[in-house]
A = this chain, B = another copy of it.
Amino acid sequence: MQFTAQQIGILLNGIVDGDPDVTVDQLAKIEEATPGSLSFLANKKYEQYLYQTKASIVIVGEDFVPTAPYTSTLIRVKDAYSAFSILLDQYNTLKRDKSGIEEPSFIHPTATLGQNVYVGAFAYIGANAVIGDNSKIYPQVYIGDNVEVGENSTFFPGVKIYYDCKIGNNVIIHSSTVIGSDGFGFAPQADGTYTKVSQIGNVIIEDSVEIGSNTSIDRATMGSTIIRKGVKLDNLIQLAHNVDIGANTVIASQTGVSGSTKIAENCVIGGQVGIVGHITLARGTQIQAKSGISRSIEEEGKKWAGAPATTYNQHMRAQVVLNRLPDLERRIEELELKLRQKNTE
């Protein structure tokens, strides 16, 4: 789709400064833009790019004063970054504007679909499942029996939701992520074998959660594994049975949380972190990437690092010395030698 500078100016409530008929069909960073691209300049630091860019249109602040020649049409708005974000979102909405039921799909006769739902080909919606208005079930998604999905949620191709799980409104889940697989529970027997402990709970995902691709969230043994409102999870994350993630907590890729651990609200957890089971992390806890957390953290809003983790500052000081260890050992040897020499003097 092509848009003229004039059309975009009207959309953003901005003033067109240049050719109103120039057209664009894509969005790009100002330093990478090609003819036909729309870009933005929000930070003075990048101003020099304006004088080199091939972007056909650049969104700038309303009081921007150029200091060199440029070729783009400018659109002057109150806040260039916000205006560009609006365009990004609208572009994305257009790209993801799917609706209707594609065939073949499998919708159990007892399932209930809201208005304006998208069901892609080869999607499966089980018995008694409920899908709220405007939700998008992409191709090859599996929605098990009795699953409830709220409004305006999106499941990308290949998402698997096991039976009895509950998903809120405005939730986004990316491809190949699995919600509700069995918790890892086995009772050791005298002969060295293990007996499976049935996992009969479910997973509850509250509103406005986003979950990346290839992530696994296990169902609770009994009760629920809970991902609370506004949580953001990256790709390839492991959340074990009965885990509870507090509202607006963010977890980066490849991190694992063991069974029954409860993480409070507004935490920020880096990638490749491991957290043991049956502990609690206080509100606002920050964990550096690759750390290992082996006991509860009770003080709010602190930053931790290392495996096992200590405070971030203590860990950083220790790491600095770590690589001097061979040197420290040599200095101790020298001290011992000197002291022995003194004793024999």
Residues of A within 8 A of B (CB): 27-29, 32, 85, 88-89, 91-92, 95, 102, 104, 106, 120-122, 124, 138-140, 142, 144-145, 156-158, 160, 162-164, 172, 174-178, 181-182, 184, 186, 192-194, 196-200, 208, 210, 212-216, 218, 222-223, 230, 232, 234-236, 238, 240, 247-248, 250, 252-254, 256, 258, 265-266, 271-272, 274, 276, 289-290, 292, 306-308, 310, 314-315, 317-326, 328-329, 331-332, 335-336, 338-339, 342
Contacts and interface: CB of A to CB of B under 8 A. Distances in A.
Contacts of A214: 176, 178, 214-216, 236
Given A27-B222, A214-B216, A222-B29, A238 B235 contact: yes
A339 B336 contact: no
Nearest to A319: B308
Interface majority SS (helix, strand, loop, mixed), chain A = loop
A181 B192 contact: no
B124 A122 contact: yes
Contact of A139 (B124, B265, B335): B124
Instruction: Pick the 8 closest A-B CB pairs, nearest first.
Output: A142-B157, A216-B235, A88-B198, A178-B213, A181-B213, A160-B175, A106-B121, A92-B198
Contacts of A213: 160, 178, 181, 216, 218
B274 A290 contact: yes
A243 B99 CA distance: 32
B120 A121 contact: no
A123 B198 CA distance: 25
Contacts of A308: 319
Given A157-B124, A158-B176, A181-B156, A106 B102 contact: yes
27 contacts: A28-B222, A32-B222, A88-B197, A91-B198, A104-B104, A106-B121, A124-B139, A140-B158, A144-B157, A158-B176, A162-B175, A174-B181, A176-B214, A182-B210, A182-B212, A192-B266, A193-B248, A194-B230, A214-B215, A216-B253, A240-B253, A253-B256, A253-B258, A271-B274, A272-B292, A310-B323, A321-B326
Given A142-B158, A321-B325, 19 more contacts: A92-B198, A92-B200, A140-B140, A140-B160, A158-B158, A176-B176, A178-B235, A184-B252, A186-B210, A192-B247, A194-B230, A214-B216, A256-B271, A256-B272, A276-B289, A332-B332, A335-B336, A335-B339, A339-B339
A163 B96 CA distance: 9
Given A216-B214, A289-B274, A332-B331, A192 B265 contact: yes
Contact of A326 (B212, B234, B317): B317
Nearest to A342: B342
B322 A328 contact: no
A289 B290 contact: no
Contacts of A196: 172, 210
A318 B319 CA distance: 11
A85 B229 CA distance: 33
B335 A328 contact: no
A174 B218 CA distance: 10
